[in-house]
Amino acid sequence: MNHDSNKSWYEASLLELLDCIEQSHQTVLDNLIPVIRRNIEKALTVDKQYRQMLTSLNDVFSLFADEIESHFAREEELLVPYIRQIDWYDKNNGDKPQIPLNSLTNPISQIEYEHDITENTLLKTMRIIASDFKAPPDASSWLKSLYKGLEKLEQTIHEHIHIENDILFPKAIQTEMTVLHGK
């Protein structure tokens, strides 16, 4: 299964989707964000003519990085274990597990609100500040790499949010309804 094929993700099981989501969190936190942070720091020392733009970009990027880190933590501490529990219960007989949430609908609304802020405020602002990630001809290789990294980050987050909002969450809500109410 690969990230470019929406069709295959629509056919994926809840457990496959959760694995994909957790892997993607790790890629963003351990790989994409640190490389972008290093490239901003280098570009700030080299591309002095773009210092003002880079300072603004750095401010928004720092907000983004803090927000996405706590967002991923909330998903992994609350939603992921709960969805694994309802999936387990859906497949196995026995006593209902102790379910910590009354319904997935409330925490998912909050998570979707956070997705909206991330996409429509933070990512969009970085794209505007960085002129659609088109590096000027006199940009250093750090600045060019920075723009490539930001574009890759934007694409990864859009895809990630699409899988959560449009595939994982509706499937989890459906499974929860079956498990709790037999609908």
Least Å from the CB of residue 164 to Fe ion: 5
Q: Minimum distance from CB of 59 to Fe ion (Å)?
A: 23
Comparison of 75 and 176: residue with beta carbon closer to Fe ion:
75
User: What is the maximum span of the chain, computed from C-alpha positions, in angstroms?
Assistant: 66
Q: Do residues 161 and 115 lie in contact, with contact meaning Cβ atoms separated by under 8 Å?
A: yes
Piece of the chain touching Fe ion by CB under 5 A; list 34-42, 85-93, 162-170, 171-179: 162-170
Nearer to Fe ion, 45 or 120 (CB): 120
Pick 21 or 43: Cβ nearer Fe ion: 21
> Quick one: three-class SS letters along 19-47?
HHHHHHHHHHHHHHHHHHHHHHHHHHHHC
- Stretch of 79-87, 137-145, 157-165, 174-182 lying at the interface with Fe ion (CB under 5 A): 157-165
Identity of the residue, 53 or 78, whose beta carbon is nearer to Fe ion in the bound complex: 78
Return the DSSP state at 131. Answer: G
68/135 with CB nearer Fe ion: 68
d(CA 83, CA 179): 11
Query: How far is 6 from 2, CA to CA, in rounded Å?
Result: 8
Question: In the chain, helix, strand, coil percent, each to 5?
Answer: 85, 0, 15
Residues within window 61-100 making contact with Fe ion, judged by CB under 5 A: 75
Contacts with Fe ion by CB under 5 A: the residue count is 2
Which span sits near Fe ion by CB under 5 A: 26-34, 57-65, 138-146, 164-172?
164-172
Residue 50, H or E segment: none
Q: How many CB atoms lie within 10 A of CB 170?
A: 11
Please state, in angstroms and rounded to a whole number, the distance separating the CA atoms of residues 15 and 2.
Answer: 15
Binding-site string for Fe ion from residue 32 to residue 61, where x marks contact by CB under 5 A and - marks none: ------------------------------
Give the residue with the Cβ less far from Fe ion, 164 or 176.
164
> By the criterion CB under 5 A, which residues form the site for Fe ion?
75, 164
